Structure 1
């Protein structure tokens, strides 16, 4: 049985669509999660952040999103507050995220995720 690959996908994002197409072309078992519609909880974010190898949620935030400025996240160092903001405002999560084999990677550029295999 092959291990399933999960992609946190936003169909409105070109990099996310390119990464999904790349994964589909491989023919692997794939779970597509439209994370804007089904946002991850704080514990799941913590787990995936560890798989990404990030030390801080700041490494994973989309700093160009208006809500980033509206919430004043640049000045916040409390990881719990940052992760809660990401869970409540999933547009803040840098995308797409591909999870495979206990590791995760951001598909920027899309080809980067192939390092997981």
Structure 2
């Protein structure tokens, strides 16, 4: 199992999504999102190279191949990450409806 380390922007993304779900659906939806995000990160820590590299090369990240995993029950949200030798680097928590162009604009 590899521990996860988060880029500051990924932490900000998660906080913004959490706040949005709290406002849109109240505490129950907020907590469901937090639980789903935690479960997805734990899955990545156990199986770091099991997910898609389809968006590799989209962001200029010299550390390794960019992968993503949809967050279960919140499938529009993707965890973008890099599987390194000793840890998982969480790069972004991104709503896919915003598109890849918007992701590139916010690096």
- Give TM-score scaled by structure 1 length: 0.36
Higher strand share: 2
User: Which one has more relative contact order, counting CA pairs under 8 Å at least 6 apart?
Assistant: 1
